[in-house]
Amino acid sequence: MSTLAGQSPQGFFIVGKTVSLRPIIDADNSSFVQWLNDPEARRYLRVFFPITTENEKKWLMEGAEVGQKSERITFAIVFNDGDHPIGDVGLHEISWPDGTAWLGLMIGDKACWGAGCATEAGTLLLDYAFGELGMRKIIAGIYEPNIRSRRVAKKLGFTLAGVFKDDIFVDGKYRDGCIYELFLDEWLEHKQCLETIDV
């Protein structure tokens, strides 16, 4: 389903059919700042204060050095025929002893919403997390009104593990927070189904 990007002339880290994942670079900063300050794009990201170029650069640099002690691994999502980022995807709050991590995914470029980019990027990351990093469980926190992200989670094979009632204040009212989880064995079974569909 994915290949390491040593075979890619663009130097992508993980290559998919339509989109690929690569390390975030300084040139991406302006795109991320634009998205995180866009009311529609940041609606469910819980970004309450303006993000400056300096803020975002600091956040990106904190996750730049990746290794077995890293608590975060984040990639830019790019189309295979270009190098401009359309979003990011990553693992957060990684617990190496427990083999668990939280999934974070954002398609910041609104022109790409609904095009399947989030599902493909999520698939690439899960393949990497389970297949290369040896994770045994990935968790995703999604707010109840975020229908697009809940739909992507379902397509990726996640199941609803629990609900925090009235957890966040959004769109003028308190809404539930949903916790989804996906175990290694579930991913392997789900991935096989996805590959069967692709054939």
| 31-68: b (≥16 Cβ within 10 Å) or e | bbbebbeeeebbebeeeeeebeeeebeebbeebeeeee
Q: What is the pLDDT of residue 3?
A: 41
Q: Which two tokens stand for residue 187?
A: 């991913």
Q: What is the pLDDT of residue 41?
A: 82
pTM of the model as a whole: 0.86
**Average pLDDT of the chain to the nearest whole number:** 87
Percent of the chain with pLDDT strictly greater than 90: 61
With DSSP H G I counted as helix, E B as strand and the rest as coil, what are the percentages for the chain, rounded to 5?
Answer: 35, 35, 35
Domain of residue 83 covers: 3-198
Q: What is the pLDDT of residue 68?
A: 63
Once rounded to an integer, what is the mean pLDDT over residues 140-156? 95
Could you tell me the CATH number of the domain that includes residue 66? 3.40.630.30
Q: How many domains does the chain have?
A: 1
pLDDT (tens digit per residue) in 11-46: 789 999 999 999 988 889 889 888 888 888 877 777
pLDDT (tens digit per residue) in 37-58: 888 887 777 777 777 777 767 7
pLDDT exceeds cutoff 70 at 67: no
